[in-house]
Structure 1
Amino acid sequence: MSRFPLRIAPALAALFLIAVAVASCVFVQDRYTFLPPGPYRGVLELEYNPIVPNPKGEPIAEKVNLEFDEVTEGQLPFTFDVVYETDTTFHLVIHNGEEEIVVPAKDIQAGRDQSVGRDTLRIDFPVYDTHISAYHEENVIEGVWVVHYRDNYRIPFKAYFGKDFRFTPLQKPPAADLSGQWAVTFAGDATEDPYPGVAEFRQEGNKLTGTIRTETGDYRYLEGTVQANKAYLSVFDGSHAFLFEALIRDDGSLTGTFRSGRHYITDWTAVRDDDAELTSPDELTRLREDVPLAFAFPDVNGDTLRLEDLQGPKIVQLFGTWCPNCRDETNFLQEYLANNDTGDLQVVALAFERYGATDERSRAAVRRYQENMGVGWPVLLAASNDKREASRALPMLNKVISYPTLLFVDRDNRVVRIHTGFNGPATSKYAAFKESFDETIEELISGK
């Protein structure tokens, strides 16, 4: 006979089942020994930079004292997921619009700082020579994003578990639909003149995505929101840390600020223009008639390779390991070579690194790039990424304008085409570039 009244026994049984269920839930959660799996909202805390009058002219009234009350001033947000592969190893997936960037488990170090009794986290972006170093406690990650190639360049970083919005959870009715093409003017700073761009935006409700093309490359995958008469866009990919803020004016135009990390800020304006065009990328860099194409640069092992050592038609890529547009172009080249019969076509890349051609840090950066990207063609250390020094290293060009730049060279080492910059997969021009690239390669191989 039971020791408990019959009416009590079912209650105890129910309590027992609840306890088992709770214990099971706790056990499942405890499987993950570090970060909880799921979505996070990351934030880079940029230094506050108030909008100031244009040093080259009169201030624009609408730009002065703009307030962006939907977001915290100077915050650059992005989202990512923590995805576990085993109970103890995980990778990250960073989201920027349509792009998903996987940070593999091998580039993530998780541990415990016994001196302070806190969990530690290091996330490396080896291709770009940057990393995030942080502590983790109670569903919050807090630390800094460190850029190694800039002196003492550290931006405070925080991330919050369970938050999957980018700028704000608010959904204020947008004052306008920004979908379409826009002619953009960047004001520049004290060291540069104003420069043009073409924005390609897509808006669905409050969500805003797209990119901005310039004559030196595109700003890749931007993502953000439109709240009433204000718009926000950002991207973080381990190298780029871009933040755009804009006011939608009564006449439908845009005016605001563009920040790159904490080292650059400028004003920008935009007007709708379906016919907006930039200078053709095939017309920006020219070959000097009095200087033939020639080069001789070392690889990471110190072995020198000359242009004349390469037989057949050639693609010469001017790039930097620090450059996301260059990475996009390298991905394209790899895919093209893997899927097309290119005969005796050869590819050689000339690296223009922040530390110069002779510094061991440059050699290490190129080695990492070759390993992480799986680059199968020769990569040579040409010069510093300073464009004046790059132009001296390649005196046959009128000037080096952009990384990347492609030189298409025939069997007799004559340059038949120079393509400056790269309109990557985030842009509407990518399909046209692929088509023209294929036509040029066919002409090089056939010798026509």
Structure 2
Amino acid sequence: MKKIFLVATGVLLGSLAHAQVQKGIWRAEVFNKGGALPFGLQIEPAGAANTFNVWAINGKERLKMDASTLKGDSLHIPMELFDAELVGKVAGNQMTGVYKKKRGKAVLTLPFRAEFGKEYRFAPQPKPTSWNIAGKYAATFKQADGKTSEAVGLFEQKGSRVSASFLTPTGDYRFLDGDIVGDSLFLSAYDGSHLFVFKARLEKDKISGDYFSGLSGHASFVSVKDEKAALPDEKSLTFLKPGFDKVSFSFPDAQSGKKVTLDDPRFKGKVVILQIMGSWCPNCMDETNFLVPWYKKNAKRGVEILGLSYERSDDFAVAAPKIKRMVDRFQIPYPVVLAGAADQTASATLPMLNRIMGYPTTIYIDKTGKVREIHTGFSGPGTGKYYDQYVEDFNRLMDKLLAE
């Protein structure tokens, strides 16, 4: 009887022991409507026991996930900003589990797996290709209901490996990474919020196929090579209605709950940047990564930034903790207020604007309180020279406003 007890105890202790997580590069896949969506994971031990630092790898980007924890035999890799998490049962060089996405009270899942030591994207053994698809493309996306939207495709190529992004009037598709296999192109991206898979056919100066997003999104797309491809002027999409030259509001600070207005002493007589954003928005994350260090360097010049956050819920008790996570993650040194719910129209909270077309939208205000420019969207680092041009234009405008 004693021997049986000891054996049973050993089995129990073994079941409670933590699995061993290999440190280094893992090739991960989430499976959505488009099939396998590959991306890289870099996993390294953190300071505390059974905790890890994890980065999602998409082309040139290494995006850090939130603190990851090994619980029993499963590794939990959260991205709390986007209410998302990867959970994988670890068994040697393999992980199997689910991608989890919260939507309100529901938790939606997709299959997930990863293998240690693999670094390829789609092609395990890339082969030379005669295709050269590098360049700019005029792209049209078509939804199942027939609605279309325009974009500009940006493609870079090295051998059969391709990195890409799509510019849209409201932002970009961040870092897409993939391979040319025969006469097909495959691209993917994962950042906790974006789950993108592109499967396309290659023809002379043309790329067309299917685009799968999130848990079940799908659209067809056609891209035609066009070095002159362009989008509508991002400075013309959102504007003040006739009779207005200023914006005004009173929104609660997400930290203190105290009402914040542009009449507060902090903003009087200064150049002010209003960052219309949301904690759920990956392009807003990219803009914040640019604005935070810029503000720290330039605040003494007489400029302030105020974040107007539109969340999935306008309930302060629900939204404020999400904004706080964003503030903490990016170490945002300027105030962020809860402006409303993301599905509200602009007229509901900022009635002097014609509309808020997309997130982020940035409003530039001069020292007298007048709106001087409104910029829709943000061209992030994944867009290469378009990001560089944005930074140049931003600095030129700020130098001008600060010199007045």
TM-superposed CA distance for 1:128, in Å, is 2.1
What is the letter of the counterpart of residue 94 of structure 1?
A
| Paired residues of 1:129 and 1:365 also in contact (CA < 8 A) | no
1:264 corresponding residue in structure 2: 217
1:214 corresponding residue in structure 2: 168
Q: Is 1:438–2:373 an aligned residue pair? A: no
Deviations along 1:395-447, one digit per CA (max 9) or x if unpaired, are 11111101001000112221000011001111121111111111211222222
1:127 aligns with one of 75, 81, 85: 81
Deviations along 1:25-67, one digit per CA (max 9) or x if unpaired, are xxxxxxx96211222111111136xxxxxxxxxxxxxxxxxxx
- Tell me the SS of whatever aligns to 1:426: helix
Q: Is 1:374–2:331 an aligned residue pair? A: yes
1:44 corresponding residue in structure 2: 30
Distance between the aligned counterparts of 2:348 and 2:299, measured in 1? 35
- Tell me the SS of whatever aligns to 1:187: strand
Q: Is 1:94–2:80 an aligned residue pair? A: no
Distance between the aligned counterparts of 1:397 and 1:324, measured in 2? 24
Identity level (%): 31
Unaligned runs of 5+ in 2: 1-17
- Tell me the SS of whatever aligns to 1:429: helix
| Paired residues of 1:173 and 1:228 also in contact (CA < 8 A) | no
Q: Is 1:276–2:229 an aligned residue pair? A: yes
Deviations along 1:364-416, one digit per CA (max 9) or x if unpaired, are 10010111110111111011111x43442111111110100100011222100
Distance between the aligned counterparts of 1:385 and 1:187, measured in 2? 24
2:369 corresponding residue in structure 1: 413
What is the letter of the counterpart of residue 376 of structure 2?
T
Distance between the aligned counterparts of 1:154 and 1:165, measured in 2? 25
Q: Count the aligned residue pairs.
A: 379
Distance between the aligned counterparts of 1:258 and 1:33, measured in 2? 37
Distance between the aligned counterparts of 1:395 and 1:127, measured in 2? 28
What is the letter of the counterpart of residue 429 of structure 1?
Y
| Paired residues of 1:317 and 1:349 also in contact (CA < 8 A) | yes
Distance between the aligned counterparts of 1:143 and 1:267, measured in 2? 29
Task: Report the CA distance shift for 1:391/1:267 in structure 2 as closer, same or farther (over 3 A).
Answer: farther
| Paired residues of 2:63 and 2:191 also in contact (CA < 8 A) | yes
- Tell me the SS of whatever aligns to 2:115: strand
- Tell me the SS of whatever aligns to 2:279: coil
1:345 aligns with one of 300, 303, 316: 303
2:278 corresponding residue in structure 1: 320
Unaligned runs of 5+ in 1: 1-31, 49-73, 113-118
- Tell me the SS of whatever aligns to 1:156: strand
1:76 corresponding residue in structure 2: 37
More strand by share: 2
TM-superposed CA distance for 1:359, in Å, is 4.4
Distance between the aligned counterparts of 1:212 and 1:246, measured in 2? 14
1:227 corresponding residue in structure 2: 181
Cα root mean square deviation, aligned: 1.9
TM-superposed CA distance for 1:120, in Å, is 1.7
Distance between the aligned counterparts of 1:404 and 1:373, measured in 2? 16
Distance between the aligned counterparts of 2:275 and 2:201, measured in 1? 39
Distance between the aligned counterparts of 2:251 and 2:142, measured in 1? 37
TM-superposed CA distance for 1:237, in Å, is 1.0
| Paired residues of 1:216 and 1:422 also in contact (CA < 8 A) | yes
Aligned positions of 1:153-232 closer than 5 A: 153-190=108-145, 193-232=147-186
1:25 corresponding residue in structure 2: none
| Paired residues of 1:342 and 1:445 also in contact (CA < 8 A) | no
What is the letter of the counterpart of residue 401 of structure 2?
L
TM-superposed CA distance for 1:338, in Å, is 2.7
Distance between the aligned counterparts of 2:124 and 2:171, measured in 1? 32
Of structures 1 and 2, the larger Rg is shown by 1
- Tell me the SS of whatever aligns to 1:439: helix
What is the letter of the counterpart of residue 379 of structure 1?
V
TM-superposed CA distance for 1:324, in Å, is 1.0
Distance between the aligned counterparts of 1:308 and 1:347, measured in 2? 14
1:330 aligns with one of 288, 297, 306: 288
Distance between the aligned counterparts of 1:359 and 1:264, measured in 2? 30
- Tell me the SS of whatever aligns to 2:263: helix
Distance between the aligned counterparts of 1:272 and 1:209, measured in 2? 16
Q: Is 1:293–2:238 an aligned residue pair? A: no
Alignment TM-score, normalising by the size of structure 2: 0.89
- Tell me the SS of whatever aligns to 2:286: helix
